[in-house]
Each structure stands twice: as structure tokens, then as C-alpha cells.
Structure 1
Amino acid sequence: MTVKHPIGLSAPTLADPVIAEAAARFVAARRSATGLDEFPGPLPADLATAYAIQATATAAWPDEVAGWKVARVPPALEEALGAMRYIGPIFAGTVTTADGGPLSFPVIPGGFGAVEAEFAVRIAADAPADKLDYSPAEAAAFIAAVHAVIEVAGGPLAPVNELGPTASTAVFGNNTGLIVGEEIVGGVEGADALRAEVLIDGQSVGVGSSAKLPGGIAAALAVALGMAARLGRPLKAGQLVSTGALTGVHSIAIGQQARIAFTGLAPMSGTAVAATPAA
């Protein structure tokens, strides 16, 4: 497996064979829908190394990248890691549309699963491959639409939350899929006026809004635009960027039910199911 090195980041602190082995283990575990009890090898100490693992695994995965998820680095780790957010790939085969019927949230047995209420941006135009940094104002020009979505987070690594953001970044960005709900009237301003609530088995586990996103939706998109280019995959028109959890990361186990509701929109509900091996 050839190691992919992001552009413009510091050199990874793990050797290429170690990076390749971790990436291969993640690909194999996701393909077989098998959980991992521990990180396969040394835990990356920095995001540059974590992104190298992610990029190497993404290149080996048999599906196209349809977009990216953005997630927060815990504030206590921002200075050490030099970042407020990280991103991870969303594969085309894992993007579904909410049509009012019951949904399924795949969870790898023995792995980690979660649901998150988020806003996703649909990209208006191809981003230049050579632009690696964006301001929120520059990012806003790439917003064609904003949707209410559910990020189905998680993957094969069971202790991913305890291990922290470098583990999450490395293991495909800790993303399993994206469920796309209604387009929001008024775009970003319309989204900013909405509140989201997540219920697990009928119990409210979180309420929030875009106020939970530092700098707002455009600031999250700016990170995705720049980092996707650094990963050699600049954003394309029509792709989706899920901009961060509005109410928190809510763990869900196989068999549990979740209901995600946004102010004035039809709620999205479904059940966590066991993920099946990839073809």
C-alpha cells in the first residue's frame, strides 16, 4: 500500500511502513465489518500523521469520495494539535436521502457508532487544486445549498472517542455515512435560525444549533476546502460537507432507535443496524 502524504503539513512522525499497516488494518476492518479493540499500531501524536493514515486508507477504499465531514478538536487539545477542526471522507455509497420513511444507521459490531444532527453544505463550484487556505468569506461563495442532515459517525475502532481526534482522523475521519434531509430555506441564515434535537430510544440526549459551531457554518466549510485540497482531493461541485455536530456526538448501539428533529422540518427517525461486509 502506497502511503499518501498531505500537501503543506509537517512530516508524519511515524514511518511509512507503520502508516501503511495502520491504513491496511482500517480498510480490512471496515470491509469485513469487524470491530477493533485497539488502535492498530502506535497512536498518531499529530494530525499530519493521522491524515497520512486517512489518505492512504481512502486511496485504497473501493468507492468515490462524495464529500467530507468536519468535526471539532476538543478545545484542550487545539494548541497541541494546531487545529480547531479535522475532516474525514464521506463515500458515495454511504450517502442516502431521507424520504420520510424509517432510516437505518449502520454500526460495525464490536466497533463504534453514533448519530449527529448537522448542517451540510452542497458545493456550488469546483475548488481550485492549488488553494490551500480559505477565509470563511471565501468559503461562503462555494455554498449552493444547506441541508439538515444526520451524520452516521463511527467505524471499526471501538475506543475511538477515548483515543481522541488523531484516532478519529486516522480511521476514515470516524464517518460511516450521511443521511441528507430537507434543503433549508434561506441557506446559512435560515439554518442559523433553527434548533436541532436528538432523541435515543425516546429520551432527549442533546439540543443545539449552529451556535455550537465556532465561526459558524462557513468557518467549518473553510477548513474542509483547505484540507481537502491538501489531501489532493479539492472539493467538487455537488459534493457535500457536513459541518459539525450541533447537539453533540450521541453513541448508538445496534437495535437502538434515534429521532433527529430540526425546527419546522419533518423529523428523521431510524434504527441502528449491524453493518454488513462491503462487497
Structure 2
Amino acid sequence: MTLIDTQSDSYIAEISDKLLEARKTSTGLPDFPGELPTTLETAYKIQDRSISKIDDKIVGWKIGGITPDLQEKLNAVRLCGPIFEKMVKYTDGSERLLMPVFKDGYSAYEVEYVMELGDTSHLPATGITEEQIRSVIKRVFIGFEMASSPIQDVNNVGSMAVICDFGINEGCIIGPEVKDWKNVDLFDVDVSITIDGKLFGPVKPNSGFVGAYGAVKFLIEHMKAQGKELPEGTMASTGAITGVHDENVGVGSKAEVTFAGLGGFSMELVSNG
């Protein structure tokens, strides 16, 4: 048996190329296209290489969770992936949005707060406080992340696969702005999604570092650990509020999102191929 060096540049390039080709051609993959990386460092190197091959600007980052079975081993609870400019849709909720997904891959609905960040360069590399997080959040929107990947059953393949494939982001909805958000209790809002007539929620968002503020803290510290700073205006899609809804989700599925008292929007899934 030939052992594969999952730290090598050739391995990183090979996995990146296979994932990019599957995305470019909208080809479903029955499994991860090779050996899974064994470290977070390598998984993010694959992501970074793929980012370098995309002719689009990163305007934000999705933050998701690492599965509990890997958190202790990896010493991490969150992960991130890029949101590209061409994949962002803005809405005031007045009309249904068409959200492209991989018809032969994996798709999931994720309802989230999207937070616009200001200058984070002055913040420390670790130990950022909640007060510091609130000070660099410029605007808050109700929103949504369209999770989709050519890798079928990617969540069961695992968090390493998710990181490699752009955090499986395939789009972001930025909905109505939460006006005067610092005087709104963001975590006492009833949030729900109705998928093909089935209601999920209402639930209230997790507060503090368990929820959106923790997601922003992770993103800033993660970037600083790599010697990077987030540009002002970066959007942070801060994690699923009602859960990750992937059961029977595919082309033709319709959903309506509601943040009670703040607004809502609707969408329909279409093929990106």
C-alpha cells in the first residue's frame, strides 16, 4: 500500500484541483476525493489554495461548528470558509430569491445573523472580550447561509472535508438590517424557518460566546493566527440558529425565514449546473 503524505504540496494541490473541478462542472462526488487531511493546518492550506484559483473577491466568511467527535482531537470547536462576492444576495424580503445548489451533491438551510465588521486590527491575537467584539461590529442583518457541496453526505464525511471545500458555502443572503442593534436584544428573538411547509422553530439564538459573538471572536483570532487581518466591511455569517436543515433538501425546495419583529425572506433552491 502506498502511503500518502497529506502534508505535501502535491497532495494539497491534488485535493484542491479535484474539489474545484467538481464545483466548476457541478459534478457530484460520492466521497471525499482522496485521503482526508489529518490536521487543521493542511485542511486550511487546501482551502487557501482553492481560494487563490477563484476569480472573485471574498466579502465575508461563514462560521460553522466542528463535529463534537473531533473537537478534542483538533482542539477547536469552530471552522470557517469564504463567502465570495458573486454568491451574496441582498433582499428586503419582498420577493423570493433563487438559491443555486449542487443538484447531485449536498445542501442544507442555515438561518443566521450576518454581522458587518469594522477595523479589527487593534484587537489582540487571543482573549478578545465580548465588549471588544461588540465594539467592532458595525451593522447586523438577519440572514442565511446556503450550504452546498459537490461532496454527497459531506457532513458525515467530516469537518475536515467541510473546511477543504470552502466551508461548503454556496451562497449568503443578507436580509433587512437590524436598526439600532446595540439596543436590541438579539438573543431574545424568535427565529424560525418553514421548509416545504414544515415549521422548524421558533427558537432563540444562543447568546454571548456560545452564539454569534463567539463566532466573530473565532474568526478574528483564526485570521490573526495566520498573520492575516480582516478588511473593514467583512461580513461574518455567524452560525445556524435553528439548526442545520439538510433532510430531503434539494432543487425545487422552498423555504421561508422569519426573525420575529425584525423581518423575513423566502427562497427556492435551483440547480447551479
Question: After TM superposition, is the score higher than 0.5?
Answer: yes
Which of 155, 167, 176 pairs up with 1:173? Answer: 167
**Mind listing any 5+ residue stretches in structure 2 that lack a counterpart?**
none
Determine whether 1:253 maps to 2:266.
Answer: no
Counterparts of 2:31 and 2:270, CA distance in 1: 22
Given the superposition, is the C-alpha separation of residues 98 and 46 from structure 1 closer, same or farther in structure 2, using an over 3 Å criterion? same
In percent, how many aligned pairs have the same letter? 32
CA distance in 2 between counterparts of 1:222 and 1:174 reads 21
Match of 2:154 in 1: 160
**Which amino acid in structure 2 is aligned with residue 275 of structure 1?**
N
- Taking structure 1 as reference, are residues 92 and 232 closer, same or farther at Cα in structure 2, changes over 3 Å only? farther
**Contact conserved, 1:136 with 1:221, CA < 8 A, in 2?**
no
The answer as to 2:116 corresponding to 1:119 is: no
Q: CA deviation at 1:206?
A: 4.3
Confirm or deny: 8 A CA contact 2:62 2:83 kept in the other structure. yes
Q: Could you tell me which residue of structure 2 aligns to residue 219 of structure 1?
A: 214
For the Cα contact (< 8 Å) 1:197–1:260, is it kept in 2? yes
2:75 matches 1:82: yes
TM-score (norm 1): 0.87
- 1:108 corresponding residue in structure 2: 102
Match of 1:271 among 265, 268, 271: 268
Could you tell me which amino acid in structure 1 is paired with residue 101 of structure 2?
A: V
Contact kept? 2:187, 2:207, Cα under 8 Å: no
Q: Counterpart of 1:203?
A: 198
Offset from partner CA, 1:98-138 (integer Å, 9 cap, x none) = 1321111211121111111100110122536x964351433
Correspondence for 2:259: 262
Amino acid at match of 1:18: Y
- SS class of match (1:104): strand
**1:213 touches 1:244 (CA, 8 Å); kept in 2?**
no
Deviates more, 1:153-162 or 1:183-192: 183-192
Structure 1 Cα separation of the partners of residues 11 and 77 of structure 2: 26
Contact 1:148 1:183 in 2 (8 A): yes
Provide the residue aligned with 1:27 in structure 2. Answer: 20
Q: Which amino acid aligns with 1:190?
A: D
CA spacing shift, 1:58–1:270, aligned 2, 3 Å: same
Aligned residues: 264
Residue 44 of structure 1 corresponds to 37
Give the one of 125, 137, 144 matched to 1:143. Answer: 137
- 2:235 paired residue among 231, 234, 240: 240
Which runs of no fewer than 5 residues in structure 1 stay unpaired?
Answer: 1-11
**In angstroms, what is the RMSD of aligned CA positions?**
2.1
Matches within 5 A, 1:174-193: 174-187=168-181, 189-193=184-188
Moved over 6 A (4+): none
Query: Normalising by structure 2, what TM-score?
Result: 0.89
Contact 2:206 2:212 in 1 (8 A): no
Deviations 1:71-115 (A, max 9, x none): 111233211111010111000110110132111121112111111
